[in-house]
Amino acid sequence: MKNAVSPKALVAFAALVWLAGCGDPLSGVGRLSELELAQDPPVAVMAEPSSADEPIARPGLFSRMLGGGSSREAPPSVPAGTLLSFGLVKPVCDLPNAKRGAEIAAFPERRAAYRLYDSEPGRTTPHPFYITGFDDGCARTFTAAVAVFGAPEMHELLRYGLPAEVHPYSAVDTAYEKIKARICRVAQGKPCGDKVSKLEKDTVFVSAYETYGDNATWLEMLLHDGDVIETDVKSGG
């Protein structure tokens, strides 16, 4: 009888496959000792406590149909430069190009539907990031030290390569399964298959890390069809 593969071995295998196929998503970020940090970074405007409790300020119709986002509506936009509490995502409807910072990722790479901007490239403490490509014309902002895009195909590799007791399903995972079932016509727990290129035209994951060099706590977002479908803050060793 063959020995069972331990959960730790599966985690290690998935990580190795991911790194081999895509490289380290943080490899483009220099070490702290190598970075030239801004001496006087811009002063961020803190979000008002009364509106900071909303995970998503105004989810779109598709998001509400899937049960994602928040059913409550807040002040619909925050000023560019707002430093939000970690895990919150807000719209910014007035975001001049000069305040976006540097574009650090686009997805998909050809005919990008979404673009990710770092407001202060090289800074390793939490600061605003922006994403464009939403149907309402407003960017979305969140606070993190590092943020990256992740393709649905990579999500599936990690999600389906690990048992649920090691990698429990989150609200983001559940929302993705609904989208995948509609577009790919496959059951839960099964990869999208041949239709993954169609799915990836307007679907992407965002991973945002609270602390540079430490992935113990991170924010995960699912973007689809020009909307933020779901968000979730995750923790792990």
What pLDDT does 22 receive?
Answer: 39
Residues 58/103, Cβ–Cβ less than 8 Å: no
DSSP state of 189: T
Give me the chain's average pLDDT, please.
Answer: 76
Pick the more confident residue, 216 or 179.
179
- Give the pLDDT of residue 57: 36
Look at residues 76, 78, 60, 77 and name the one whose alpha carbon lies nearest to residue 68. Answer: 60
Question: pLDDT above 90 covers what percent of the chain?
Answer: 55
Tokens 């393709």 locate to: 151
pLDDT, average across residues 165-191 = 91
Which SS3 state, helix, strand or coil, does residue 61 take? Answer: helix
Beta-bridged to residue 151, according to DSSP, are none
Nearest to 22, CA basis, from 152, 212, 154, 145: 154
Distance CA 19, CA 154 (A): 11
pLDDT digits (tens, 9 = 90+) for 17-58: 333 333 343 444 443 333 343 333 433 333 433 333 333 333
Summarize pLDDT for 132-160 with one digit per residue, the tens. 999 999 999 999 999 999 999 999 988 88
* Nearest CA-CA partner of 92 in 82, 102, 107, 103: 82
Confidence of residue 237 (pLDDT cuts 50, 70, 90): low
Residue 161, pLDDT above cutoff 90? no
pLDDT of residue 182: 96
